[in-house]
Amino acid sequence: MTFEPAGMEADLNTESAPSPRCSFNIAYVVKRAHAHHGLRHDDYNRYRLYCSRRIHRLRKVLNLTHGKKKFSKRDITDTDLTSGQGRENVLQ
């Protein structure tokens, strides 16, 4: 006699549903970031520092840092961006 959980058959037969798409106004997000981080007052150095901090933060969350070793390029795949924390940081 074998024991199978009640929901096991349903889990094996169903296909994974496509993930819902997320939409937002990218132009608004970019303009808001420009204005908030220095470009409203033509402070390009302040905006450059903001961008470099943001890139560093994203690379750290996605585990794409290379430390003090020689740089080796690694591509960002869709699976990297579909993780919860990676997706939230890309949008912020």
> What is the rounded average pLDDT for all residues in the chain?
74
CA distance 21 to 91: 14
Is 66 exposed, middle or buried, given 0-12, 13-18 or 19+ CB atoms closer than 10 A?
exposed
Q: Does position 5 have pLDDT exceeding 90, yes or no?
A: no
Model confidence pLDDT, tens digit, residues 15-51: 666 767 777 788 888 888 888 888 888 889 999 999 9
pLDDT at 84: 58
**Hey, how many other C-beta atoms are within 10 angstroms of the C-beta on 90?**
14
pTM above 0.75, yes or no: no
